[in-house]
Amino acid sequence: MRKLHFLILSLILSIGLFFRTYQIIERFEFAHDADLYSWIVKDIVVNHHFRLIGQLTSAPGIFIGPLFYYLLVPFFILAKMDPVGVLIPSIILGIFTMFSYYYVFSRLFNQEIGLIGAFLYAVLLATIGSDRWVVPTVTSSIWSIWYFFIIVKFSQRDFSVLPFLGILIGLIWHIHIALVPILITIPIVLIRTRKIPGLKQIIGFLLITLLASSPFIIFEARHNFSQTRSMFNNFTANFGMDKNISEIKELVLGSQNNNAKLNLDPASKFSLEVEPQTPKIGDTVNLKITTKNPKYSTLVIITDCGNPKQFEIGSITAVFKWSTVTCSEGNHKIIAIARTSTDPPLKIIFDKFINVLGKENTNINNLFIFPLHLPGTIQYIVTIVILLSPLFAWRMKSLTTDQFLICYAWILAVFLFFSFSSIIVSEYYLASISVIFISSITVILHKIYQIKPLGQYFIPFLLFLLLTKNFLYYISLENYDKGYLEKKALVEYIAKDMQENDYPCIGISYITALGENTGFRYLFYINKIHLIHPSLDVPVYNIFIPEEFSQDKTKQKFGHIAVTTPTNAPPKEIIQKSCQTPNTNLTDSMLGYTD
């Protein structure tokens, strides 16, 4: 029996490994996040910078901790600083997470439930995607399953896991602040059990928590607790009366702009920055607007040309990507506005709660239904059923009352946290809830499996159908080739063409769909390409995404990316003079990066 059990577990891990490695390099996306973590690893390895922070998050003033980036360092070095090395830790973490589901469910329930839970995590498309997505939040699933284990152990009055809780709390900053609200389950469980750990256990827990949180504590002490204050500001930024502050500025296309002149009146406490400072027609321009007054929680930019002509976001800082393809050269007006909400606070909270619920509806669809497309009404019914799955499991006596309460305290804590916060919610912020649904569905499936003889045929058949559906989808999925391999080949082509034409430096002009002009910067760095801002005094290569944006028959295509080489390069003397400019690839700012 043990041998059969081991063989089934090995088969499950092998299936999960297949899904996490199939065409892993061919489907390796390399965009802004990849540029960002590569740049931070470069800072650690090349600049020997001992970092206390990683990237800036979408929550204003809050950073990711540095652990993820230090984890990548040995794999970058192993791959000779090629970012493809990051795929190794993503595979290892994926395998470990699958095994963690098996171990946790086996310990909390039984080994059959452990096998079902590990199988679900191994084959569900959403969990496969999250394991293959190389970002700091890739460890959210591991954190969530082990926190679930610890909090259920607490409900059983087992405090031997307290040191591990200290480690998990310390790791939150290194993963994502979206994990913070789940900690509310700790006092809820302690109140339910009417028991607290011993003094020695508490002291040990506090020491481990302090040690695990030391990078965060040191950074906060050095920077006047800036992140802590930003976190509190995020819960006050939504609420205010109907007030607007606005200013009109002029942006010049075709010549350099001075960001100092674009800064708005200090009295209004908000500013506007433009990148690049010398935008050309066809460029995607980053318009960064920031307000230092959290009550002005909605930021708006209105332009007189381009696409789109109006941007709006509920945040105290934002970067808008503005395509200037349809603009003309010369002066263009930009109206920057910061305003408070006109709605009463309760309506704001309710609207945000509905928005969070909508995001979770998408997550549930991606987790259990995708790639099937159900009618909207049926999809919502499925979402309601999944949301009620802990209740069903409790009624079937597959979850204890304490486990049932933990499930809904977890879900409600996440929903309310983002309902009261000014943070703009993305679906992956709610990813920790998936462990609740997977555990509930797992114990329900096991309960049905115990119904003899029907259940013992039906559940394996159902799981086989799930595997078949996802396997057929995955191997038949057509990849839109604009990732790592295509960008690497394109940059190497440019480097070779530069060498053949003896260009000491070049300019790069991106003609791309909105947000697609990313993922090249680190590749230019490792190919030792000296970049300066495009002008008539330097050879300029044009990069097109998708490649259909270029009608030039001489373009070189790399998947769905194309590049055209300089047609009228300036004289060598002018190029040499222009190339005395420092490498802007090293000096320009990068969204989310801080030294």
pLDDT in tens, 302-349: 787 766 667 666 666 677 777 777 777 777 777 777 766 666 777 778
Whether residue 379 is found in the same domain as residue 426: yes
Cα–Cα distance, 516 to 561 (Å, whole number): 10
Last residue of a domain, one of 308, 339, 370: 339
Residue 464 located in a structural domain: yes
The pLDDT value given to residue 239? 44
Beta-sheet strand order (sheet of 298-303): 244-253, 330-339, 298-303, 310-314
The pLDDT value given to residue 51? 92
Sign of CA dihedral 175, 180, 181, 187: positive
Residues of the chain with pLDDT under 50: 238-242, 260, 266-267
Beta-sheet strand order (sheet of 284-291): 270-275, 284-291, 317-323
Whether residue 103 is found in the same domain as residue 146: yes
Whether residue 192 is found in the same domain as residue 333: no
Q: What b/e sequence results for 332-359 when a residue is b if at least 16 CB atoms lie within 10 Å of its CB, and e otherwise?
A: bebebbbbbbeeeeeebbeebeeebeeb
Residue 314 located in a structural domain: yes
CATH code, domain carrying 268: 2.60.40
Whether residue 41 is found in the same domain as residue 147: yes
Residue 307 located in a structural domain: yes
Whether residue 270 is found in the same domain as residue 373: no
Of 9, 115, 125, 29, the closest CA to residue 472 belongs to: 125
The pLDDT value given to residue 248? 67
The pLDDT value given to residue 333? 76
Which range of residues forms the domain containing residue 412? Answer: 2-221+354-476
Alpha helices in 183-338 (DSSP H): 185-193, 199-212, 214-222, 226-233, 259-262
Cα–Cα distance, 268 to 401 (Å, whole number): 53
Whether residue 387 is found in the same domain as residue 461: yes
Whether residue 249 is found in the same domain as residue 310: yes
Cα Rg, the chain, nearest whole Å: 26
* Tally of structural domains, the chain: 3
Whether residue 512 is found in the same domain as residue 457: no
Residue 595 located in a structural domain: no
Whether residue 55 is found in the same domain as residue 104: yes
Which residues touch 288 (CB under 8 Å, ≥6 apart)? 272, 273, 274, 275, 317, 318, 319, 320
Residue 257 located in a structural domain: yes
Whether residue 199 is found in the same domain as residue 285: no
Residue 228 located in a structural domain: no
Whether residue 515 is found in the same domain as residue 438: no
Residue 453 located in a structural domain: yes
Whether residue 390 is found in the same domain as residue 538: no
Q: Summarize pLDDT for 406-459 with one digit per residue, the tens.
A: 999 999 999 999 888 877 788 889 999 999 999 999 999 999 999 988 989 999
Last residue of a domain, one of 339, 370, 388: 339
Last residue of a domain, one of 339, 370, 393: 339
Q: Are 189 and 230 in contact (CB under 8 A)?
A: no
Residue 128 located in a structural domain: yes
Q: What is the pTM of this model?
A: 0.84
